Structure 1
Amino acid sequence: MNKIALITDSACDLSNELLEKYNIKLLPFKIIFSDKEYDDKLEITPEFLYKKLPTEIPKTSLPSIERLTNILDEAVRDGYTHAIIITLSSEFSGTYNSIRLACENFDEITTFVYDSKSLSMAEGVVVLETAKLIKEGKTFDQIVKTIPTFSDNTDIFFTIDTLEYLKKGGRIGRVAGTIAEVLNLKPVITIDKEGCFQTYSKARGKKQALSKLLKIAKSYTENNKCKFWIMDGNALEDAKCLFENIKSLDNVVDCQLGYSIGPALGVHTGPGLFGFIVEKVD
């Protein structure tokens, strides 16, 4: 019988409660300031990061392969026969490739490393749905075949105050060249199926950006039952407004507020982000 461990990186933005509930092991990114480095999510909060950003934009580095090896060693000792590892998009980070290479040299357990081609709770949804299959007792092969459908059914849309942080972090992807540098123009950004940022639409100011996000959300619910996760990066009031409007749409089976963009992603998006992750469930 399969005994399957589940591992993910801290860019998934899952709460500690969900990680504990489903026994999901975490690989934290490193957040590196000039005077100190922190394990993402474990030693640094989003609030601390946004307070520090005006004076210093820290660097980030990949999760520790030593930590991964320790988690796999522990899994073997605990009788696990398989491990599934889900990462953020390989277009944003070398995490997927470094973990895949490390697992090729770890023979004591059967591993499957999956590139979610997304991040934040869009990655987190894939992790959660995988965790539920493990809990239901599905086999390793069944789960591995099913995981891509979770990615196919999940999308992310958000707006940000400034492109400054995406530019400095080199994460701007296909947003570059599509946004005119004019006063108060807000992009509505998504992640395409290749795992890259892409401009979905443009808005004149925050109010219009909110309106466009609501229109996108409504388009998903016209023909599908959907779950929504409302996220923010130091923009809780905007997220609350989005939440209040989305939760009352037809065909919304669940809508949750309070998903903060973690430090590993917040470094690259900066303050003022709000948006949603949507999962089609039928």
Structure 2
Amino acid sequence: MEYKIIVDSCGELTEEMKKSGVYETASLSMQVGGANIVDDESFNQADFLRRVAQSPECPKSSCPSPERYMLSYKGEAKRVYAVTLSSELSGSYNSAELGKKLYMEGNEEKQIHVFNSRSASVGETLIALKIRECEEEGMRFEEVVQTVENYIEGQHTYFVLENLETLRKNGRLTGIKAMVASALNIKPVMGATPQGTICQLGQARGIKRALTKMVEQIAKECIDSKKKILGIAHCNCPERAEEVKQMLLEKLEVKASFIVDTAGISTMYANDGGIIVVI
């Protein structure tokens, strides 16, 4: 291949992406209940959710090392693109950038760019798909970088989770001063800011109403939907994801849409029943 795309494992790859030979995953790892779990093809979501439910401690994650990214930059590909979860949520972006700096010291002829997704999960998936689309159109490296950076600027991330405890305990809700009592069954509708931090967009009583509110928010904010791909990730709730997809397609006409199950890192933060939507 003339190029390849590295996606850290917070971004889910579709089956077609896995088979294409274009994509490579840089795995993060998770620690829960004394076990270290690598977020790769061996990840067992059901087992992980069981471990989280049984552990009194909050699960934690570790990003790929600069050396791990350096290994990914090697090979025959002349152009390499890396996509990481938001630099505001993880050290993966900084690790990829440091790995690039170290690798380029003796390999100046190779072109490498690291994209800060300012999102996570299926947001990274969509960015990786956009990179491939640009490459297949024959764009020069610089054009690909600029086009994809512009795409990231216009991307929007939304999610509704059954609970926010993992995000809260791991300090990912900085700036959100108060979360309503779970006893009232209030579910916040969350999103990502342009900088890649997490913000609260609204709330509703019960998961169904929160999902409806999220769909309404997406339909209200989405511009030029016919040119966009709708991506939905779910954590162990395929029927819920399909319902959200159908609600959105009743309100928006999109270029394409797909649903993926969350991989390890996204599962850790989304928790059982979480839904993530990016468009």
Match of 1:141 in 2: 142
Q: For the residues of structure 1 that align with 2:14 and 2:46, how far apart are their CA atoms? A: 15
Match of 1:19 in 2: 18
Alignment partner of 1:88 is 2:85: yes
RMSD value, Cα: 2.2
CA contact (8 A) 1:50 1:234 kept: no
Q: For the residues of structure 2 that align with 1:61 and 1:28, how far apart are their CA atoms? A: 9
The superposition leaves residues 32-54 of structure 1 with CA deviations (integer Å, 9 ceiling, x where unpaired) of 34454232132213233222211
The superposition leaves residues 125-175 of structure 1 with CA deviations (integer Å, 9 ceiling, x where unpaired) of 11110012122322111111111121122211111111211112221233x
Aligned residue identity for 1:100: E
Equivalent positions of 1:28-177 (< 5 A) are 28-56=27-55, 57-73=58-74, 75=75, 78=76, 80-107=77-104, 108=107, 109-174=110-175, 176-177=176-177
Match of 2:234 in 1: 232
Aligned residue identity for 2:101: E
Deviation at 1:265, TM superposition (A): 2.2
SS at match of 1:106: helix
CA contact (8 A) 2:64 2:95 kept: no
Q: For the residues of structure 2 that align with 1:186 and 1:124, how far apart are their CA atoms? A: 26
Equivalent positions of 1:248-259 (< 5 A) are 248-257=250-259, 259=260
Deviation at 1:70, TM superposition (A): 2.1
Distance 1:163 1:190, change over 3 A: same
Distance 1:137 1:19, change over 3 A: farther
Q: For the residues of structure 2 that align with 1:10 and 1:22, how far apart are their CA atoms? A: 16
Deviation at 1:194, TM superposition (A): 0.6
TM-score, normalised with respect to structure 2: 0.88
TM-score, normalised with respect to structure 1: 0.87
Aligned residue identity for 2:23: I
Structure 2: give runs of 5+ residues left out of the alignment. Answer: none
The superposition leaves residues 202-243 of structure 1 with CA deviations (integer Å, 9 ceiling, x where unpaired) of 111112112202212322467642432222122333222212
Distance 1:97 1:204, change over 3 A: same
CA contact (8 A) 1:30 1:62 kept: yes
For structure 1, which segment, 135-144 or 38-47, has the greater mean C-alpha deviation from structure 2 after superposition? 38-47
- How many residue pairs get aligned? The number is 271
Q: For the residues of structure 2 that align with 1:266 and 1:273, how far apart are their CA atoms? A: 8
- Give aligned-pair identity as a percent: 23
